[in-house]
Structure 1
Amino acid sequence: MLFLVITTPRRDSPSSVTSRRQEYWKWIDPLLKSKEVRWVYARVGRGGVALFDVDSTLKLHEYINEWSEYMPAHFDVYPLLDSDEAQAYLKVHARKHSTTGSTAAASPKKRGRRT
């Protein structure tokens, strides 16, 4: 399961959390090596972005809680489909909703006054 996680840190002074930020990189390194985090970037200014590839929302919950121990922040979480999943879904969706000879769905009724 893919999740894009974007963090916005609390308004603490950046210098007040420098040592914790250094510990964060030590914490996330094994997750990068195991591919549970595909990539991670620091945002310009403050904050970060990471792509998690985990087996469950519970595992993501665990990692976000651990992350917040290093850098208390607001976390925006976006579930994602990889491109293969998205394309497979679109093929099924297209077959399910294709019009076979019916023009009713293709041409909507006109509304308004008749002249």
Structure 2
Amino acid sequence: MQFMVISDPQPARPSQVRGIQTTFWDWLDRQKEAGIVKAVYVKTGRGAIVVFDVESHETLHRLMTEWSDCVPAAFTVFPLIDPAHQEAIARKGA
């Protein structure tokens, strides 16, 4: 299952969070190496957009908790569907 997760970190001075940001990037690198993270985009200002490919909602919950432990944030989650699946449905109905 793929999910796009958008973070909105808690307000803080950039200089106050610089040290913990490296914790986030180290954590993110481990998720990429494991094949769990499919894409990462950094938002202008603060925050990130990450596409996860996970086996369960519980795994996604664990990852978001770990992420929030690195950088406290609010998250918006979007479940994603493979475009090929939607295209097949559209073409089948035509």
TM-score (norm. length: structure 2) = 0.91
| Over 3 Å off, 4+ runs | none
Q: Say which SS state the counterpart of residue 46 (structure 2) adopts.
A: coil
The 5 Å alignment of 1:102-113 reads none
Q: What residue is the counterpart of 1:39 in the other structure? A: 39
Q: Say which SS state the counterpart of residue 87 (structure 1) adopts.
A: helix
- Whose Rg is larger? 1
* Number of residue equivalences: 94
Which AA in structure 2 matches 1:49? I
Whichever structure has more strand as a proportion of its residues is 2
Task: Point out which structure has higher relative CO (alpha carbons under 8 A, 6+ apart).
Answer: 2
RMSD: 1.3
Whichever structure has more helix as a proportion of its residues is 2
- Unaligned regions of 5+ residues in structure 1, if any? 96-115
> Percent same amino acid among aligned pairs?
36
Which AA in structure 2 matches 1:67? W
Matched, 1:27 2:27: yes
TM-score (norm. length: structure 1) = 0.76
